[in-house]
Structure 1
Amino acid sequence: MIRKDDPVNVLGEVLSPCSDADPVTGFFRDGHCNTCPEDQGSHTVCALMTAEFLAFSKYVGNDLSTPRPEYGFAGLRPGDQWCLCAARFLQAHDEGCAPQVRLSATHMRALDIIPLDVLQEHGAD
């Protein structure tokens, strides 16, 4: 059985939900950016999608905007909230196209990859 890490956000508080919209986000598809050792992508950053970020993600090989009905994935649109891989967020930051982040819903394990000041720079809450 896979055990979730403690649900603590980057502010040291209880992890808030990221989104309950369809498609449901998170490594566990529970609407939270929960993680565990098996989550090799560290899907820990609760981000607000923008057209610019979605285009960037598609360009670097992770198309989040195209519907994939065979996987129950309707595709993301600007304004949707989604648990991003921490490394992808950092890559987008380095390229100047990182989306805003909900710090209250971003898991503390994101700090293993992204400095807190970088997350705060993009904070939406």
Structure 2
Amino acid sequence: MSQQQSAQKSVQKNVLGQPLLPCGLDPVTGFFRDGFCHTCDQDSGIHTVCAVMTEAFLAFSLKQGNDLITPHPEWNFPGLKAGDHWCLCALRWKEAFEAGKAPRVILQSTHEATLEVVNLADLKPFAVDLN
């Protein structure tokens, strides 16, 4: 990662307008695989929603053609299970929300760029504390 990317990440905010907190370190999540839902221009999927995986969401995602369960070590992807924290694409979360399958979210770790796709009012009922 370049020094400029590092500097940009250090000032990124969450949907509450506060400094972005880590989302998940086991497994390590994020577009940069640094545990944060940081984003940049190269993150075309907008991996900014810190979500707590559920069986229902993982099954929904698989049905939509996005297998988040099967490990892919070549992509540094361990495969996910219920309870894992993961930086989801904002559009995928919105799609799951509209289908009644949205996972819980950690607002303190959800990047403010999410608000370009999802309303904060839709996220808040799914909020859980960072633990």
Write the distance in 1 (CA, Å) between the matches of 2:104 and 2:24: 14
Write the distance in 2 (CA, Å) between the matches of 1:69 and 1:53: 22
Write the distance in 2 (CA, Å) between the matches of 1:83 and 1:118: 17
Q: Does 1:13 align with 2:49?
A: no
* Alignment of structure 1 residues 29-68 onto 2, 5 Å: 29-68=33-72
- The aligned length equals 124
Write the distance in 1 (CA, Å) between the matches of 2:21 and 2:78: 23
Write the distance in 1 (CA, Å) between the matches of 2:52 and 2:60: 14
1:79 maps to a residue whose letter is G
For residue 61 of structure 2, give the secondary structure of its aligned residue in structure 1.
helix
Deviating more after overlay: 63-72 vs 75-84:
63-72
**Structure 1: gaps spanning 5 or more residues:** none
Normalised by the length of structure 2, the TM-score is 0.89
Write the distance in 2 (CA, Å) between the matches of 1:72 and 1:12: 30
Of Structure 1 and Structure 2, which has the larger fraction of its residues in helix? Answer: 2
Question: Which of 105, 121, 124 lines up with 2:125 in the alignment?
Answer: 121
How far has the Cα of 1:38 moved from its partner? Answer: 1.2
Normalised by the length of structure 1, the TM-score is 0.93
RMSD: 1.3
For residue 69 of structure 2, give the secondary structure of its aligned residue in structure 1.
coil
Write the distance in 2 (CA, Å) between the matches of 1:54 and 1:68: 16
> Identity percentage over the alignment?
51
